[in-house]
Amino acid sequence: MQSAQAVAGIQIAAGLIPAVLGAAAGAIMFFHELTDAHATIVEEFRARHEQAGAGPGADAVTRLSAPEEA
């Protein structure tokens, strides 16, 4: 049987610390601005994908990365 202090430490290590780190990572991703370099990289990947013959599941990748048309 664990002491109350040990149980509290385990709960913090298993719950609170990952929650705080996850929230910090989410905040960083939310505020991080994607540059024009990102669009260039995505376009290069799309071109390589098409050149390679676009294997199984290729339509899903293209659909997820393609900009929406109005």
Query: Would you list the domain boundaries of the chain?
Result: 1-32, 34-70
What pTM was computed for the model?
Answer: 0.47
What does the chain look like in DSSP terms, one character per residue? ---HHHHHHHHIIIIIHHHHHHHHHHHHHHHPPP-HHHHHHHHHHHHHHHHTT--TTHHHHHHHHSPPP-
pLDDT by residue, tens only, the chain of 70 residues: 889 999 999 999 999 999 999 999 999 999 988 788 888 888 888 888 888 776 555 555 555 555 656 5
